């Protein structure tokens, strides 16, 4: 029984790690917006995600950057331009974004009928 429990916990740990990264109301949405839209400036991301506040977007972008999912590039322009995009590592989540969108479309059809 103990071996069985250890095996379950061993398999759950990476899922828990992933959920920690993706947790929060906006992180997966921010990543999906960057996946679909490519490089974007802060205000472009904000415009694409209804109801997100600038403060939350800023905090989540910083968190995703610290976890090597998003890169931040400062361009030497006047005024200074900052662009965000998924890193190569962040793009490895593409199947997650696609699966969530696919399941969400099916769910909407089932619940709403559209």
Rg over alpha carbons for the chain, rounded to the nearest Å, is: 17
> Model confidence over 13-70: pLDDT tens digits?
988 988 888 888 999 999 999 999 999 999 999 999 999 999 999 999 999 999 999 9
Is the CB of residue 31 less than 8 Å from the CB of residue 45?
no
Q: What is the mean pLDDT of residues 83-94?
A: 97
Residue ranges per structural domain of the chain: 26-112
26-112 is a CATH 1.10.10.10 domain: yes
Which residue matches tokens 């939350």? 56
Phi, psi dihedral angles at 23 (to 5 degrees): -65, 165
């Amino acid at each position: 029984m103990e071996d069985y429990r250890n095996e379950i916990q061993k398999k759950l740990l990476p899922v828990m790690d992933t959920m920690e990264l993706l947790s929060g109301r906006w992180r997966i949405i921010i990543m999906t917006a960057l996946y679909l839209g490519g490089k974007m400036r802060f205000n472009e991301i904000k415009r694409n995600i209804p109801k997100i506040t600038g403060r939350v977007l800023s905090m989540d972008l910083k968190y995703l950057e610290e976890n090597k999912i998003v890169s931040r590039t400062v361009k030497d322009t006047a005024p200074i331009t900052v662009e965000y995009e998924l890193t190569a590592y962040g793009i490895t989540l593409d199947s997650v974004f696609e699966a969530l969108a696919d399941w969400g479309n099916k769910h909407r059809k089932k619940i709403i009928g559209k």
